[in-house]
Amino acid sequence: MDRRHFLMQSAATAGAAIGSKAMAAPSDTIRVACVGLRGRGGNHISAYTGESKGANLVALCDVDENVLNKRAKEVESKTGKKPLLYTDIRKLLENKEIDAVSIATPNHHHTIQTMWACSAGKDVYVEKPCSHTVHEAQAIVAAARKYNRVVQHGSQSRSSVALQEAVQKMRGGELGEVYMARALCFKWRDTIGKEPEAAVPAGVHYDSWIGPAPAKPFSKNRFHYNWHWQWNYGNGDLGNQGIHEMDIARWGLGVKYPTKVSAMGGHYMFDDDQETPNTMNCLFEFDVDGKKKLLVFDLRHWMSNHEAGVGEGGKKKDANTIGNTFYGSKGYLAIDGYTKYKTFMGKEQAPGSEKSQGGDHFANFLNAVRTRKRGELNAEIEEGAASTVLVHLANISYRLGRTLNVDPQKLVILNDAEANKMLTKEYRKGWELPKV
């Protein structure tokens, strides 16, 4: 992959009209396939079978036939039509009647499946984080460009009307000079316990589930959802819930790649199968036209306070604290979740601008598929990839136990061969990343 191809994309290129849909004319209904159907995949299905957005959900794909058949019955009950069913996305991509795929599989599949889909002429909505490594973040953008595809990253906060206004207010100077962002990810997550290795459940195509990861025996704690906490498949809560807040923080600060990254934490309290940290503090330093900006990411599971009103609207005392705060020379701004913000001005913290309004990220994707204008996407893949890179850099710093000095132009770590090796990974034979 040509690294320069990833790094040198211009705004003009991003906004240009691109290639046509796989088969249908722009005015036609977009034929969508959902890949990965459990958990977040259910939201994808609802998006394409709910109020008409000019989409037709024609196919479903999952490596677990138990989940696949359950979802198929739900879709048929809701739409009156039985979707095509697949257990292998590669077979699905051979179907030229499918225009777009909506991917909600585990993290270690996101990049390779998106690249396959792009090369097959499909447009893609891919869940966050779009990659499992920094190199994959570069490769997924390169594939989208090479095959002229519309690729939306699952950072749905970017489609929130309120958050768009919040960023606009900061860009307009309401907070003065914004010098720091703080991303908050405080969630109540109990221990996952310990699960023995066991026989693969009936109906599960486990080899396909493993995909590019190293082959290991089946365990419940390496499978449904708990794969998030294993390095071979997930990126911890930093890449699960935290990528949303990371993306908002980077967006609000108006930065891309850092010059310095430092992360510290651990897997505290619980003695279980989880490999990734459940408590973590990450610092990112950016150089913007000679001025430094700071992004702080704070992750913790279990007991926590709320901050700046974020999470206090929850109905339970143990409500999660998910959001962001931005600090400027004239005041600060707090984002609560994905749909509302408030500002507090001056030493008196007087109420300033505020708004509460969401948006429809799937509709935004479908609209861009029709118009063929990549610049109309609220979370075009290059933006999603940039935020995902921050996740990977922080995890590398945490795992090595040291600060990383980063070249933000070349996207390499200075004077650290061990850290640079972790920008990519080994792939299981037969599951190598496609070359672009």
For the segment 17-33, what is each residue's pLDDT rounded down to a tens digit? 666 555 444 457 999 99
Amino acid 17: pLDDT? 62
Number of H helices, E strands in the chain: 14, 16
Q: Is residue 31 within 8 Å of 99, Cβ to Cβ?
A: yes
DSSP 195-250: --B-PPPTTB-HHHHHTTSPP---BGGGSTTGGGGSTTT--HHHHTTHHHHHHHHH
Angle between helices 242-253 and 161-171 (to 10 degrees): 30
Instruction: List own/partner pairs for 398-407 with CB under 8 A and 24 or more apart.
Output: 398/263, 398/264, 398/265, 398/277, 398/280, 398/282, 401/264, 402/262, 403/260, 403/261, 403/262, 404/260, 404/261, 404/262, 405/259, 405/260, 406/257, 406/258, 406/259, 406/260, 406/261
Amino acid 304: pLDDT? 87
CA dihedral 30, 208, 381, 83 (to 10 degrees): 10
The vertex-159 CA angle with 158 and 160, nearest 5°, equals 95
Give how far the C-alpha of residue 300 lies from the chain's centroid of Cα atoms, to the nearest Å: 19
How far apart CA 424 and CA 436 sit, in angstroms, is: 16
In the 8-state DSSP scheme, what is residue 301? E
Phi-psi region of 262 (alpha: psi -120 to 50; beta: other; left: phi over 0): beta
- First-last CA distance in the chain: 5
Which three-class secondary structure state does DSSP give residue 160? coil
How far apart CA 185 and CA 44 sit, in angstroms, is: 23
In the 8-state DSSP scheme, what is residue 371? H
CA distances from 23 to 28, 30, 400 (A): 10, 9, 48
Amino acid 53: pLDDT? 77
Amino acid 303: pLDDT? 86
In the 8-state DSSP scheme, what is residue 194? -
Amino acid 408: pLDDT? 98
Helix (H) or strand (E) holding 143: helix 134-146
Q: Pick from 281, 244, 238: which is nearest to 163 by CA?
A: 244
Q: Is residue 258 within 8 Å of 392, Cβ to Cβ?
A: no
Q: Pick from 320, 240, 255, 331: which is nearest to 293 by CA?
A: 255
Domains by residue range for the chain, with CATH: 3-157+361-382 (3.40.50.720), 158-194+207-356 (3.30.360.10)
Q: Is residue 68 within 8 Å of 92, Cβ to Cβ?
A: no
Amino acid 2: pLDDT? 40
Q: Per the confidence metrics, is the pTM higher than 0.85?
A: yes
Residue written as token pair 């359950």 = 70
Residue ranges, the chain, pLDDT below 50 = 1-15, 23-26
